[in-house]
Amino acid sequence: MTERKRRIAPSVLAANFAELGQAVSIAEKAGADWLHLDVMDGNFVPPITFGAQTVQALRSLSSLPLDTHLMTVHPAQHIDAFIEAGSDRVTFHLEAEIHAHRLLGALKERKVAAGVAIVPSTPVSALKELLPYLDQVLVMTVNPGWGGQAMIPSTLKKIEELAALRTAGAGDYLIAMDGGFSPKTASKIWEAGADMAVMGSAFYGAEDPSKAMKEAREA
Ligand code: DX5
Ligand code: ZN
């Protein structure tokens, strides 16, 4: 069983891309648990961010677990590149993959933690058959594509639902959330039952990122 505690993963999406090395040290200094890497392809979501080459560069800068969030169509075509680049955890979107079960198997075979993300309009019930195979569920608490958006309050119910299902024995997955996490919203998120929160603009945009992370963790 994966140990459950309050994990926070800064998203480099909100960092200065000209100073990624600095972004990594800011996260490490603050006590980040993982580094969250938002890969956007211009199809699944409108923006394009970065690819496996950037993940590889970040790998060489840090020993933090790399939590790669694929916001791409056809994720099965991309996983090898992102695993070879050094991802420790790979999460793809259920909405982008018909054969999610097969892809989860492929991730496990490659010894990376296997995650599935759902956008706000996808219900938890859509994950029912996959829960026993998942290391992580990523509940999008905003519509993916951009950092700095306000959390959609109704998405918290999905975190609660996933926690209840886990208690009932549906699987042994971590519950992660992504979008609008900050020292202000944190208590609601932990209360709902999240094990991991992605922290983008509220971390890198903070005057003192270490303090912001500490406040959010202890909220
Ligand atoms: C949004 C990305 C998020 C983003 C979160 O599509 O998946 O990881 O970086 O940013 P904040 O924390 O600013 O909402
Ligand atoms: Zn993300």
Ligand 1: which atom is nearest the Cα of residue 13?
Answer: 9
Q: Rounded CA gap, 209 and 92, in Å?
A: 28
pLDDT at 143 over 80: yes
Per-residue pLDDT tens over the stretch 182-212:
999 999 999 999 999 999 999 999 999 999 9
Catalytic residues: 38, 178
| d(C-alpha 27, C-alpha 9), whole Å | 8
Ligand 1 atom index nearest CA of 180: 14
**14 ligand 1 Cβ < 6 A:** yes
The answer to whether residue 4 scores a pLDDT higher than 80 is: no
Q: Which helix (H) or strand (E) holds 210?
A: helix 209-217
In the three-class reduction of DSSP (H, G, I as helix; E, B as strand; rest coil), residue 113 is classed as strand
Which structure tokens are listed for 81? 């590149």
Q: Which of 97, 91, 50 is nearest to 73 (CA)?
A: 97
Helices (H), 6-118: 20-30, 52-61, 79-84, 100-109
Give residue 130's identity as a one-letter amino acid code.
L
Strands 196-199 and 7-10: parallel
Fold of 7-218: TIM Barrel (3.20.20)
Tell me what pLDDT residue 170 has: 97
- Rounded CA separation 36/39 (Å): 10
Q: How many CB atoms lie within 10 A of CB 121?
A: 9
Is there an atom of ligand 1 within 6 Å of 11 CB?
yes
Average pLDDT over residues 142-151: 98
* pTM for the full predicted model: 0.97
Ligand 1 touching residue 148 (CB < 6 A): yes
At 73, is the pLDDT very low, low, confident or very high (cuts 50, 70, 90)? Answer: very high
Domain segments of the chain: what residues?
7-218
Is it the case that residue 1 has pLDDT exceeding 90?
Answer: no
pLDDT of 3 > 70? The answer is: no
Give residue for tokens 């999008």.
Answer: 140
